[in-house]
Amino acid sequence: MTDIATQLYSDLAIPPGELLGEELEARGLSQRELARRMGRPAPLVSEIVRGKRAITPETALQLESVLEIPASLWVGLEAKYRLTLARNSVRSA
């Protein structure tokens, strides 16, 4: 059994919106078009891509519907991102 104190964790927090932005670019899809297909406001998508807003489970389901990337991936990336931010905050306190 591994002692939790000896596990290594990355302190690099990458917002899932960064992956979303790369995916949109690879598909030649604008943030505005993604927002339209999701039925959500364009500023919301922009804020997610810039890492200013979290991907909620509801948004993850909409992304899954439009991009055919599983919602569980988006939710998992968001959870890992938030956990890394929390770990970094605790370490610096």
4 part of a folded domain: no
48 part of a folded domain: yes
pLDDT tens digits along 78-87 = 999 999 999 9
The CA distance from 49 to 52, in Å, is 8
24 part of a folded domain: yes
- Output the domain CATH number for residue 68: 1.10.260.40
Instruction: Please count the structural domains in the chain.
Output: 1
> pTM of the full predicted structure?
0.87
pLDDT tens digits along 13-46 = 999 999 999 999 999 999 999 999 999 999 999 9
5 part of a folded domain: no
84 part of a folded domain: yes
Q: Which domain holds residue 84?
A: 13-92
Q: Which of 33, 81, 34, 25 is nearest to 54 (CA)?
A: 81
Cβ proximity of 83 and 12 under 8 Å: no
77 part of a folded domain: yes
